[in-house]
Amino acid sequence: MTTDAAKGSYVEPGKGYDRDMNYIPDRITRDGRDGWPVEAGRYRLIVARACPWANRSIIVRRLLGLEDAISIGYCGPTHDERSWTFDLDPGGVDPVLGIERLQQAFFKRYPDYPRGITVPAIVDVPTGQVVTNDFPWITHDFSTEWTEFHREGAPDLWPDDVRDEMEEVMQRIFTEVNNGVYRCGFAGSQTAYEAAYDRLFAALDWLEERLATRRFLMGDTITEADVRLFTTLARFDAVYHGHFKCNRQKLAEMPVLWAYARDLFQTPGFGETIDFDQIKTHYYVVHSDINPTGIVPKGPEPELWLAPHGREELGGRPFGDGTAPLPER
């Protein structure tokens, strides 16, 4: 996770939250210009279901049908100051990479790696070295560089005709919503918290209005913008409303966004990637400076996400000219 996951400290008294956006900038491309060419079976995507940034890559990999081209390894929902760990696997060891901690892949390439050990990350299987943890580019490149390995019927998540506007929409969603909830939760002063709170809900009000007349953020079909917003909305009532003090309203009290989020949750490729128990365990256990007791709340009930949403009345075709992904193997 990109909140200094392996550094152990989140809240700086008296300060606002400032996300460290310096990631390993390498990209996996068709021309291999960074030294990492697209090659089926060579790379392993390391994620945690708890993390919203990693959740994006899980969804995009599913939607595009890259399961056979890029293997996936799941870390558990909690970590210590050193690293995410593979405690869900037998013996606590990733069965492909043979490591207990994601940190080992980072240190194999950078012995003195100074930043947080974050997910998602892509590891080069032959060398065991991390390739990149630059989460916005990971999903972008899944769509644009790995096209040779997309499934038949894969949706176009970066449509040319709306790309410029989509970049603007995604930037606002990132700064004000995806990162906005963290600015609330990790604020080190009342002033910083209230400023972050106001910015967050101003953006959510804008999204309520935008989505009132269109089924998805960019129109009739799902794009990367919807993936990026969904992973925050999926965690809103379970975590951000209480744990991060984003409590003007619950998502379930914002009628348009709540229906939109349920629409996506019930769309193949989205809801099956969500594990509410892992999500709650991560935030309420790892963030000990916010929740020192480590108590994990029981609610809300996940069945609420399966209620009818009525968004079909707006028309649209979620996958455009494509088709839904097959059920997970």
Residues of each annotated binding site for glutathione: 84
Q: Are 181 and 197 in contact (CB under 8 A)?
A: no
Closest to 229 measured CA to CA, from 197, 270, 266: 270
Q: How many C-beta atoms lie closer than 10 Å to residue 192's C-beta?
A: 18
Closest to 146 measured CA to CA, from 268, 72, 60: 60
Catalytic-role residue among 10, 23, 51, 184: 51
* β-bridge partners, 224: none
Q: Are 139 and 47 in contact (CB under 8 A)?
A: no
What is the pairing mode between strands 43-48 and 129-132?
A: unpaired
DSSP 283-311: IIII-TTT-TT------S-GGGGGS---G
Q: Give CA–CA dist 113/6, Å, rounded.
A: 11
Q: Are 260 and 311 in contact (CB under 8 A)?
A: yes
Catalytic-role residue among 10, 17, 23, 182: 182
284 given a catalytic annotation: no
Report the SS3 class of residue 226: helix
* β-bridge partners, 79: 84
Q: Give CA–CA dist 265/261, Å, rounded.
A: 6
Known binding-site residue numbers: 84
Helix (H) or strand (E) holding 172: helix 163-173
75 given a catalytic annotation: no
Residue with tokens 């100074």: 114
Q: Are 156 and 322 in contact (CB under 8 A)?
A: yes
Q: Tell me the catalytic residues.
A: 51, 182
